[in-house]
Amino acid sequence: MQVIFKPNYINQGVLFPLDLNEKVCGNHACRVIHEVVSQLDISKILKQYKGGGTSSYDPRMLLGLLFYGYLNNIYSCRKIAKAMEENIYFMWLSGGQSPDFRTINDFRGKKLKGEIDDLFSQIVKMMVQMGLVSLEKQFVDGTKIAANASKYSFVWKKSVESHKEKLEEKIKSVLGDIKTAIQADDAAPIAPEKVTIDSKVLTEEIAKINEKIGESKANKGVKKQLKDLTEKKLPKLIEYEDKLETLGDRNSYAKTDTDATFMRMKDDHLGNGQLKAGYNIQISTENQIITHYSVHPNRNDYNTLTPHLAGFEQHYGKQSTVIVTDAGYGSEENYDSLSKAGIEYYIPYPSFRKEQSKKFKDNPFNPQNLFYNAEWDFLVCPIGQRMEKKYVKKHTTDNGFEQTSTVYEAKNCQGCPLRGMCHKSKENRQIAINHKLNAFKATAKEQLTSDKGKEIYKKRCIEPEPVFGNLKQNKGFRRFTLRTMPKVSIEFGLYAIAHNFAKWLKAGLEMPVNSFFDFFASFFCLFFNARLTKTSSFCLIYVIGLSLFFTP
């Protein structure tokens, strides 16, 4: 029997052009993104366009391309521009237009700067209307993502301070030599001993020396030293001051991205710790949907909780009633701020798990296991000796929070048969107790060990952790491509929006109806299986209504 193949006419012309609407199904992701973007308030973005000259690409179209690109793990603007020539879904979103990669990159890096957070919160509010999230709970966690910076180009704070101190000593010495060399009876002190040398003081002193040299005949040595101060030491001093200003409270930064801090990343496959420039990304999740995110240069998590929650309240106008985190956030400062705000929290302190072990509870030498008399303010050591209050010490954290600890000392440890097991100090044992922190720990322990606390806290490991796993493993997002904090925030904001769109699509819910006419437009599209926009459907319904009205 003869085999017959279907004809394939590659160069065959068509009478009617190809309609991309026929190739894109009604519930496809690009259609959902298009509908969502059409409802976003982008008035602040539109104000950035000055007008005049040639026409600009529609910012809603560019937003849709970026959202759909990040949803499909396409983060490069060049690849998005290429996809608009090869992928029918990108063609549909762009309406057949082809903006080049520079246009897309400029829109992402410039027009979205400072606006991506607002767009993200608008989409989350839509998900609240659909019942996907309630914003009443926040499961907070953080992860470190490498910055687009070289790990071999860095600045360390201790090194800069050390070199700056040595340079200041050299400058003081040189100024002292110049003062001795210049012979002038009315010469005012050039370098006061108690004045701290900085670039401003050094510039003033150089100006004074130049004025004195103009009035007297200075030798060649003075001029050589003055030239060295002006051309070498002063610029170097300014460089050190600029570096310290850039560092701020941080201990390091990358030269190629000064907002990135060197952090200890996860160990590699050989178990070696990796020190890389990166950012600390904090997210709040509910039902594995990202409800808020923030970018920080901090290496530790406990300093990020307060600004992170403040950002949540700023975007949504309210705060969640329940906060759940891991032990990395368990600090006195965080407990204090949450308690004052009246927020219910489930946050273990770093030693919470350790204290639950039988070994810890049975150790009578642990400070937490010593008997404390609150009325007379003293401790009792394992042998029964009183440990009296000796003094109170205060400590201020990097955020300006003041902590107070009371130091207790045993009266006499000489000859104690338990001394070898109790402590190794040659003097009497001293213990510092932070009573306020201990009270917070007792509250946290009570909440975490309750039935309600156990039920809530066991969900923490299935909330933010899978989100980070999807980010790094499935989507391959392990390193930022943009530099500086504002652009890094844009990049992660686009990922967070794409992640939420994936959850939206998985739920299979329709867009929230905003009006009576939108309802009829959606009903018409659904009933007649028409691939039309809601505006087109409304116009058609309007025409049908008029025809029925005037029909005799």
CA 149, 493, 140: angle at the middle one, nearest 5?
95
pLDDT in tens, 284-326: 999 999 999 999 998 888 889 999 999 999 999 999 999 999 9
Q: What is the pLDDT of residues 17-58, one digit of tens each?
A: 778 888 888 888 999 999 999 999 999 999 999 878 888 999
Task: State residue 521's pLDDT score.
Answer: 45
Q: What's the DSSP call for residue 53?
A: S
468, 96 contact by CB (below 8 A): no
Provide the pLDDT for residue 183.
Answer: 54
Residues in the chain with pLDDT values less than 50: 184-192, 194, 513-538, 540, 542-544, 546-552
Contacts of 342 (CB under 8 A, 6+ apart): none
The ranges assigned to domains in the chain are: 20-133+486-535, 155-254
Q: How far apart are CA 111 and CA 119, in angstroms?
A: 12
Q: Measured between alpha carbons, how far is 344 from 133 in angstroms, rounded to an integer?
A: 18
Check residue 122 and give its pLDDT.
95
Angle (deg, nearest 10), helices 29-39 and 116-129: 110
Residue 128 CA to residue 512 CA, distance in Å, equals 10
pLDDT at 543: 46
pLDDT score for 226: 84
Q: Look at residue 210 in the predicted model and tell me its pLDDT.
A: 80
Task: Return the pLDDT at 267.
Answer: 63
- pLDDT given at position 216: 57
In this prediction, residue 419 carries a pLDDT of 83
Q: Residue 532: what pLDDT? A: 44
Q: Helices marked H in 216-289 — which ranges?
A: 220-228, 234-247
